[in-house]
Amino acid sequence: MLVHICCSVDSHFFIEKLQQEFPDEKLIGFFYDPNIHPYSEYRLRLLDVERSCQKLGIELIEGEFDYENWMDAVRGLESEPEKGSRCEVCFDRRFEVSAHKAIELGEQTMTTTLLVSPKKSQEQLIRSGEAFEASHGVKFIPFDYRKNNGTADQGRVSREQQLYRQDYCGCLYGLSMQRDQQHRLMDEMFSPISKQILPASIEERLELYTRRNELENTGTPYGILKERFLNYRLIRSSVKVGTEIVPSFPLFYSTINRTSTEGKIDFEIDGQFFLTREEVRFITLDTFNTLTSSSYKSAQELMFNAPSVETEMALRIQLTDSPFNISAIIVVDTIPTEKISLLLETKTYDDTREKLIRLELA
């Protein structure tokens, strides 16, 4: 039987149930999800599905990530709600490719782990599955493992197996609507030019779950904890000296009361040059290099290849002597003597992040 897989949270529980119900059936997992966005999220979900299938002892095949074809298929349905027409077209696309894969492999039956997701309409899934059964000859079996307290059991299995538990379905349109309804920043879509791994980003989780797999492979006990913290995203920034934009780099947690301010350097303390307003301070690239043991040749190089956020935070504490300071600290090549116009649009917000810890053996 070919089992179309959407994510490990759904697939691990679903496949466990299939193995219990059909112990002699050979199951082949097929991860085909071109709707998932951004691509880093796709890689993270695939990573967790690979681990899950390995634990369950079933073969896994990765389908093509043909995102452009998926976008074409749902064009005009961008504003449809969850469980609306866009989802049905999305199911049709994934089932069509899955049915062709089943035929290619000589499998006569298929199903999908989407059936166990409480965010999906089983009626829509069954309609799509039966339509492709009629047109392709591959029997679609709509297992219902949500009933009899299945959703609660699924949550238990996810926690016990320490699976990656994503908090949105997968597609760009569903994500944007969900974040709008939650009045939350859609920080999943931030891709900094600095190439940094941002706190609580998909990329940070991808690193964490990769390390989790490495610890498991070496038999090292571990745990995954959640912690609350104040997150930060830089939306846009620039420094204009006179009429010229100059390369500049705001340290993590740099904020001002508005999105812009201007003034001249008023005074200097220990290599920090303070603007006449907004608690803004500037440091030179040489000071940055000295205090962080770096060797950047220009502020522009720093902009496009920044150090870790942890390095920035350590520098901020060193400069301000406080872990709570969120004043703007701007790195420039040289300290301006003319009028400075600073644009700094940012967002700070309560958030949670996962943390991987090694456990001591008893």
* Residue with the two structure tokens 């920043």: 185
Whether residue 213 is contained in a domain is answered as no
pLDDT score, position 360: 78
| Helix residue spans in 57-84 (DSSP H) | 67-73
- Would you place residue 361 in the very low, low, confident or very high pLDDT band (cuts 50, 70, 90)? low
At 194 the three-state DSSP class reads coil
The CA radius of gyration of the chain, in Å to the nearest whole number, is 25
Same domain (yes/no): 247, 325: yes
Q: Is 185's pLDDT higher than 90?
A: yes
Q: Is 168 left (phi over 0), alpha (psi -120 to 50) or beta?
A: beta
- Shared domain for 178 and 238, answered yes or no, is no
Residue 142 has pLDDT above 60, yes or no: yes
Residue 151 is assigned to a structural domain of this protein: yes
pLDDT of the residue at 120: 85
Kindly state whether residue 214 falls inside one of the protein's structural domains: no
Query: Dihedral angle at the C-alpha atoms of 41, 353, 255, 268, nearest 10 degrees?
Result: -120
Closest CA to 93 of 110, 73, 72: 73
134: CATH? 3.40.50.620
Are both 154 and 27 inside the same structural domain? yes
Q: 254 is in which domain, residue-wise?
A: 232-348
**Are 139 and 257 found together in one domain?**
no
List, for residues 242-251, the tens digit of each pLDDT value.
999 999 999 9
The one-letter code for the residue type at 181 is Q
Q: Are residues 6 and 140 in the same domain?
A: yes
Question: Who has greater pLDDT, 206 or 119?
Answer: 206
Q: Are residues 107 and 236 in the same domain?
A: no
Asked if residue 164 and residue 237 are part of one domain, the reply reads no
Residues 157 and 297 in one domain: no
Residue 277's pLDDT band, with cuts at 50, 70 and 90, is confident
Mean of pLDDT values over 222-237: 96
Q: What is the pLDDT of residue 348?
A: 97
DSSP per position, 315-360: HHHHHHS-TT--B-EEEESS---S-EEEEEEEEEEEEEEEEEEE--
pLDDT in tens, 188-212: 999 999 999 999 999 999 999 999 9
User: Which residue among 158, 182, 206 closes a domain?
Assistant: 182
Instruction: Judge whether 193 lies within some domain.
Output: no
Determine the average pLDDT of the residues in 108-127.
90
Over residues 211-225, the mean pLDDT reads: 95
Q: 292 falls in which pLDDT band (50, 70, 90)? A: very high
Q: What is the pLDDT of residue 82?
A: 86
Instruction: Please list, in sequence order, all residues whose beta carbon lies within 8 angstroms of the beta carbon of residue 351, skipping any fewer than 6 positions away.
Output: 199, 200, 228, 229, 230, 231
Is 102 part of any domain? Answer: yes
Q: Please indicate, yes or no, whether residues 171 and 249 belong to a single structural domain of this protein.
A: no
Query: Is residue 341 included in any domain, yes or no?
Result: yes
- The amino acid that residue 141 corresponds to is I
Nearest to 304 by CA among 238, 244, 247: 247
Helix (H, G, I), strand (E, B) or coil at 20: helix
The SS3 assignment for 91 reads helix
Residue with the bigger pLDDT between 277 and 109: it is: 109
Label the pairing between strands 222-241 and 272-275.
Answer: unpaired
Considering the domain boundaries, does residue 260 fall inside one? yes
End residue of a domain, out of 149, 166, 182:
182
Write down the pTM of the prediction. Answer: 0.92
Question: Span 260-270, mean pLDDT?
Answer: 95
- 146 and 257 fall within a common domain: no
Q: What is the predicted pLDDT for the residue at 135? A: 87
Q: What's the number of domains the chain is made of?
A: 2
User: What local confidence, expressed as pLDDT, does residue 362 receive?
Assistant: 56
Beta-sheet pairing, 272-275 with 265-269: antiparallel
Instruction: Give the pLDDT of residue 141.
Output: 94
Mean pLDDT of 152-163: 94
- Contact call for residues 205 and 354 (beta carbons, < 8 A): yes
Phi, psi of 51 (to 5 degrees): -65, -45
**Same-domain status, 157 and 71:** yes
* Mean pLDDT for the chain overall: 94
Mean pLDDT for 86-94 is 91
Q: Does any domain span residue 23?
A: yes
pLDDT tier at 83 (50, 70, 90 boundaries)? confident
- Please tell me whether residues 244 and 168 are part of one structural domain: no
